[in-house]
Amino acid sequence: MKRTPLQRKTPLKSGGPRRKRCPSCRVMFVPARTSQAVCGEIECAIAYGQSEKGQARAKKALADVGRREIKDRKEKLKSRGDHVQDAEKAVRDCRRTFELWIGSGCISCGKTQEEVQAAQGWKTGGAWDAGHFLGKGARPELRLEPNNIWLQCKSCNAGSYKYARKGLTVSQGFREGLIARIGLEAVEALEADHEPRKYTVDELKAITTEYRAKTRELKRTAA
């Protein structure tokens, strides 16, 4: 006997939201929003809210709201200096991620990634930092300048002579390494740059957002 092929009463895909089964009354319903857990009956909502699963979900929702409120309050309490630090960290994280991604070694001592990792990989926070060629204390105008921030091993960034280039200090080694990367003319132009940078809070926020996005994209590309 020839069998009639089975046919679904409802299509696998539809243009609207997928139906759910109410955990209280077991009736199928179309949620008005993705987070809706029960049908539109008040009794079902009350019963679900009193259940263990419902209470856990409510606690999580309250915790999420609490975290967002705390984050918003902290953001409002930030000073301009806090926003400068956020922006600097975002730029440094991006520069470090990029330099590691393209295979650069330490700009100061010239050690390769493999050499640095073997000698300093045990250090807290990893073996690598992003260091300023011209220090932000003496040259604050270049604090957020990407061309002033390069990949350094933790030892060199801390000022240690352990891995310094032969006959050079860490800063002299940094300059030698930078000349090899971008050329003497570009290094001298950077050293001669004394133009003040007076960023507004909104500009600092924009820099932070921009470089955090760049870092995320670099990490996605490297994965």
Return d(Cα 141, Cα 160) in angstroms, integer.
26
Whether 6 has a pLDDT exceeding 80, the answer reads no
Distance between first and last Cα of the chain? 56
Return d(Cα 210, Cα 200) in angstroms, integer.
15
pLDDT digits (tens, 9 = 90+) for 106-140: 999 999 999 999 999 888 888 999 999 999 999 99
Whether 180 has a pLDDT exceeding 70, the answer reads yes
Kindly state the tokens that stand for 109: 């001592």
Strands (E), 91-144: 128-132
Share of residues in the chain with pLDDT > 90 (%):
57
pLDDT digits (tens, 9 = 90+) for 54-69: 567 666 766 676 677 7
Whether 28 has a pLDDT exceeding 90, the answer reads no
Whether 8 has a pLDDT exceeding 60, the answer reads no
Please calculate the CA angle 27-28-30 and round it to the nearest 5 degrees. 135
User: Are 25 and 39 a contacting pair, CB within 8 Å?
Assistant: yes
pLDDT (0 to 100) of residue 214: 97
Q: How much is the average pLDDT of 18-35?
A: 82
